[in-house]
Amino acid sequence: MIIPVKRRIGIEEEFLLVDPTTGQSRRNGPDIAAAAEEQTELQRQQVETGTDPHTDLSDVLADLTSRRTRTAALAEKQGTRLLALATHPLPTTPDLTPGARYERLSQEYGLLAREQLTCGCHIHVEVPDRDEAAAVLDRIRPWTAVLLALSTNSPYWQGQDSGYASYRAQVWDRWPTAGPTETFGDAAGYDTHTARLLATGVPLDPGQLYFDARISATQPTVEIRVADVCLRARDAVLLAALTRALVETAAREASDGHPVPDVSVAELRAASWRAAHDGLGGVLISPHTGRPAPAADVVIALLDHISPALRDASDDDFVAAGLAQVHQRGTGADWQRNTADALGPAEMITQAVELTRST
């Protein structure tokens, strides 16, 4: 098995579209996606972008920023603004994007699908060998909640403070296939698990296997899907650097014969709930002990866990600087609450629009 010296990474981001004056949602997502040659999303108030795969973080950041800037410029031509918040802070009625698959989702899942207006950040990390990919998924499970905590950017839902740092995670986890998974062992185990799940008829197709982390069906990657879309592009790249190091660490552990961590799906769901609720402002569940610990201590534990992989990729300085900034100013959820409290929700959205397209 040939392990890439430095695994390529790519980032998919989902965005909201808002009125430049009122901050209310706008419904021209399909038109903007077509102009940008990007993906539509379930609701018309959204658009998705995705970078190419890159090795160096500087290239990821340049690509990500360029796509944000280009999509924002196309949105502005249509009187709309691009907004990197994972839920809309104001009361909003989602409007389903036309299309057979989206209509089928609405028919099958009813209000669950019709209320689903959330924006995530998906990190793809190169893992060409599917057995290795399954081994990676088994070993990153206790750590994905920490990635969620670092990305939290959705404290508001329908005009109210939800009490969560990531209410997107709560809304998203309503899907029957969303969340953490059991262990797979190898690619055959992963394929058996997904085939049995699809055989139930509950997910409509493989694209609806909304696991927190999964083997991509179309690319030689594992895809980690736990994060909120990040307000700042640099924070999204920080998340990608941490994710790549976590995947590389897991691959090395598998190669060295390290056992899979003994943690249940129920415990993982509890850890994800705590991360979504507290963000970095309270406690997280320690992957080492399974007990609550100060969030800062758990982030340090993650860094200790992945530090050799970060150094080998020459990502350690970028990550150290990025984490220092996040700890100093808080997550996107912290920024939203602080700004909305000081200036009101509408002005917060206006400032968030500017941060969305900044470098």
Structural domains in the chain plus CATH codes: 9-351 (3.30.590.20)
pTM: 0.96
Structure tokens, 222 = 């594992």
- Reported confidence tier of residue 358, pLDDT bands at 50, 70, 90: confident
Per-residue confidence (pLDDT) for residue 8, from 0 to 100:
98
As to burial, measured by CB atoms within 10 angstroms (0-12 exposed, 13-18 middle, 19+ buried), residue 199 is exposed
What is the average per-residue pLDDT within 204-226?
Answer: 95
- Estimate to the nearest angstrom the gap between the alpha carbon of 303 and the chain centroid: 19
Average pLDDT, the chain: 96
The token duo for 320 is 């150290």
Give the pLDDT band of residue 37 (cuts 50, 70, 90): confident
**CA separation (Å) from 306 to 38, 111, 143, 314?**
33, 41, 11, 12
With a cut of 90, say whether residue 177 has pLDDT above it.
yes
Q: What is the pLDDT of residue 39?
A: 81
Classify strands 9-18 and 81-83 as parallel, antiparallel or unpaired: antiparallel
pLDDT for 3: 47
346 pLDDT band (50/70/90 cuts)?
very high
Helix axes 144-151, 233-255, angle to 10 degrees: 170
Task: With a cut of 70, say whether residue 6 has pLDDT above it.
Answer: yes
Angle between helices 144-151 and 265-278 (to 10 degrees): 20
Of the pLDDT bands very low, low, confident and very high (cuts 50, 70, 90), residue 335 is very high
Q: Which structure tokens are listed for 292?
A: 């609550």
